[in-house]
Amino acid sequence: MNIIDIINKTKRSEALSDEEIKWLVAGFTDGNIPDHQMSAWLMAVCFNGLTERETFSLTMAMRDSGDVLDLSGFGKITVDKHSTGGVGDKTSLIIGPAAAACGVAVPKMSGRGLGHTGGTIDKLESIPGYRTDLSFDEFSDIVRKTGFSIISQTGKICPADKKIYSLRNVTGTVDSIPLICASIMSKKLAMNADCILLDVKYGSGAFMKTKEEAQVLASLMEKIGRYAGKKCRAMITDMNDPLGSNIGNALEVAEAVEILQGRKKGVLYELCMDITANMLELAGKGSLSECRTMAEEAVSSGKALDILRRTIELQGGDGRICDDISLLPKARFSHEIRASHDIKILSVNSSEIGMASLILGAGRLSAGDSVDMSAGIVMNCHAGDMVSEGDVLMTLYSSVCSDFSEAAVRAYRAVSFCSI
């Protein structure tokens, strides 16, 4: 086979065979195909797309570039969940313990944040002592004991995806639905859970900006999962507003704990109960309405919180944060943004709020950047709220940034409102 022929075929929208795609992925992963030639092929995909068959072949070739886990020893149906990312998305910290409390196993690998989208691993590492770099045996032991664990992605899972994504990130080839699908689904299929629930987000704070784009991606990922023999379902959810009130690592852990304590309801709680119910229904635990009731009872009874506490402790963390969120990292500096007059909130631009949080130190622009675990924003307003003069719209927090002027301007401009 010849890389030039493969590039030209995709450039002419001619379908590649399974063997050609396997050869391409293997050759790039082991270094025989250089970056500049792989970049040319990725750009051709961005312009011309791939067929469903090609997308499936690419996904499986990327999956098979590394380890495929064996989760058969848990004695329970395994359910994995993936979100396409957003601002304030701490759903995994809530739905994992809730689903586990209902009798399924939720073994999950997650990544770190980059840009304005936070990473689940960063959030968990804000818990004092919490370890995410566990061996597979340690990970498996925790899942057997509690039904739930989240660890960081290992280099042995989908090395092809890691290398291809790094190249896409610097060559302007990220925004291709077949490539996005293959990247996500190769990792999910390498985890090898029985069921996969996909939370595909759209809006200002998501990668897919319109509901229509999200539906196309969701449909393709569902098909790829089913072609691979998995029970797979995608939900389309809104990320125009930040999800919940807290944005930033320790702040988001605190909000997740408050949800599991039964102290907070609202949009975040409702979404998490919907996701958990869909996970349970996929796993055969009952009808969707029955599973929704089970999910709510897992929270109201305190069972889900107990599972989170026990999992934290088994991963070396301070489980007392489940009873006392003040034990989480606290910011040295804070700044309140108040309403100058009576207003109605029309919308909140999630992406801009995420960027303001990034300025405060809550995220990273490049993989090697350090993160201020205490930094972030607590929103006191959401779309549709009526706010009186002098009321706090949001509070900014940081331990590394004492001058809030840049972040405050960006955060304030993220809020659209009209006078009342």
Residues 94 and 117 in one domain: yes
Classify each residue of 96-118 as buried b or exposed e, where b means 16 or more C-beta atoms within 10 Å of its C-beta: bbbbbbbebbbbbbbebbbebbb
In angstroms, how far is CA 348 from the centroid of its own chain?
20
Residues 78 and 201 in one domain: yes
Q: Is residue 182 part of a domain?
A: yes
Residues 192 and 294 in one domain: yes
Residues 139 and 284 in one domain: yes
Given 322, 341, 373, the domain boundary residue is 322
Q: What share of the chain is helix, strand, coil (3-state, %, to 5)?
A: 50, 15, 35
Q: Which range of residues forms the domain containing residue 202?
A: 72-156+172-322
Residues 213 and 121 in one domain: yes
What CATH code is carried by the domain that includes residue 140? 3.40.1030.10
Q: Which residue has the tokens 């995909």?
A: 45
Number of other residues whose CB lies within 10 A of the CB of residue 297: 14
**Per-residue pLDDT at 287:** 98
Please say whether the beta carbons of 292 and 113 come within 8 A: no
**Could you tell me where the beta strands, DSSP code E, fall in 203-317?**
231-238, 246-247
**Per-residue pLDDT at 74:** 86
Q: Is residue 162 part of a domain?
A: no
What CATH code is carried by the domain that includes residue 365? 3.90.1170.30
DSSP string, 107-158: EEEE---BTTB--HHHHHHTSTT------HHHHHHHHHHHSEEEEEPPTTS-
**Per-residue pLDDT at 174:** 87
Give average pLDDT by consecutive 10-residue segment, the chain, 420 residues.
96 97 98 97 97 98 95 91 88 97 95 69 95 93 96 88 90 92 95 96 86 96 97 94 94 98 94 98 97 98 98 98 97 97 95 93 79 96 94 97 95 95
Q: How far apart are CA 310 and CA 299, in angstroms?
A: 15
What CATH code is carried by the domain that includes residue 35? 1.20.970.10
**Per-residue pLDDT at 117:** 61
Q: Which two tokens stand for residue 69?
A: 């886990």
**Per-residue pLDDT at 118:** 66
Catalytic residue annotation: 82, 161, 168, 183, 187
* DSSP 3-state of 338: strand
Residues 40 and 80 in one domain: no
Residues 235 and 381 in one domain: no
Residues 289 and 209 in one domain: yes
Given 268, 298, 322, the domain boundary residue is 322
Given 296, 322, 348, the domain boundary residue is 322
Residues 382 and 247 in one domain: no
Domain count, the chain: 3
